[in-house]
Amino acid sequence: MTVDEHARRHPEVWRRFSPRQTLVRYAWYLGIVFVAVWSVSNLDIPWFYFLDAHTQAGDLITRMIPPDWAYFDEILDPLLETIHIATLGTAITFFLAFPVAILAARNISPNAMTWFVARFILVASRSVNTVVWALLFVAIFGPGPVAGIWAVAARSIGFVGKLTAEAIEEIDEGTVEAIEATGASRLQVLMIGVIPQVLPVIYGTMIYRWDINIRESTVLGFVGAGGIGIQLYASINQFAWREVAVILLAVFGVVIVSEFVSAIIRQRIN
């Protein structure tokens, strides 16, 4: 073995990455930092606000204590309304998301056109936030829980539909083949061969979405679509911080309980 060969086989310096790889990595880091700096600087952030932010926040919290417990009686009905909006909205979703999901699943959608339209519905439904949907439905149905229910449904179609379509795309094709081989019609294949396979996924997704919807329903009142949000918005605007504290605690309780319930039901489905 010559000295050269030895040096090549046993170099004294070992590097995990080649210089080129290192360069690329640092270019990525630099790019990310650059994007972050550009974003922040372009937002015109008034940095001096941070100077007294902690006193402001502290002030806010001290004004919330003690919570005005007597106010709880008044928010009981709005709290129930919030839960109703989430539940009824999710229930409507079940009927609307199903056909869209079937058309949006590549393997059973009748043709490229139906697939595209269904996919567009799913993307549109998910891109538009529940609160934005609520704006639209308040314009249509006027202020109140009906707008909220439809807003929740409109946003949930995309969520439930997308996950269901993905589940349909992953079903066992053999079963579908077997049902087709009996001479069954398209609808029958769908009903016997496809739907039983994805039903657990649909139930699970619906329950999961229900507990997200509870959280979403708490703010629909900000745009007039019913629920506890109306009281929250009013109390904040009247600087009634001790009422705000009660509402927030109540919302916290409802959301935690609904999350717990949803987790238990989903566990039992599986």
Residue 263 binding other proteins, by CB under 8 A? no
Of 92, 96, 117, 179, the one binding other proteins (CB under 8 A) is 179
Q: Which two tokens stand for residue 34?
A: 């650059």
Residue 89 is encoded by which pair of tokens? 């909205």
27 binds other proteins (CB under 8 A): no
Exactly one of 68, 72, 87, 261 binds other proteins (CB under 8 A); that residue is 87
Query: Per rule CB under 8 A, is residue 38 in the interface with other proteins?
Result: yes
Given the complex with other proteins, which of 27 and 57 has the nearer CB atom? Answer: 57
The tally of CA atoms less than 13 A away on the side-chain side of residue 29 is 6
Our CA dihedral for 169, 175, 181, 182, rounded to 10 degrees, sits at: -120
Query: Contact with other proteins (CB under 8 A): which of 7, 24, 191, 269?
Result: 191
Interface map 119-148 toward other proteins (x if CB under 8 A): ----xx-xxxx-xx--xx--xxxx-xxx--
Give the CA diameter of the chain.
Answer: 91
One-character DSSP codes across 154-174: HHHHHHHHHHHHHHHHTS-HH
Contact residue for other proteins among 175, 234, 242, 266 (CB under 8 A)? 175
Ramachandran sector of residue 51 (left: φ over 0; alpha: ψ -120 to 50; beta: rest): alpha
Q: Single out the residue of 236, 242, 265, 266 in contact with other proteins (rule: CB under 8 A).
A: 236
Q: List C-alpha distances in Å: 189 to 88, 98, 111, 179.
A: 30, 16, 17, 6
Among 118, 163, 202, 232, binds other proteins (CB under 8 A): 232
User: Does the protein bind other proteins through residue 270 (CB under 8 A)?
Assistant: no
Give min distance, CB of 70 to other proteins, in A. 22
Q: To the nearest whole angstrom, how small is the minimum distance from the Cβ of residue 9 to other proteins?
A: 26
Please answer whether residues 131 and 217 qualify as being in contact, where contact means their C-beta atoms are separated by less than 8 angstroms. Answer: no
- Choose which of 22, 23, 28, 77 interacts with other proteins (CB under 8 A): 77
| Cα–Cα distance for residue pair 40/111, rounded to 1 Å | 46
State the minimum distance, in angstroms, from the CB of residue 243 to other proteins: 14
# residues contacting other proteins (CB under 8 A): 75
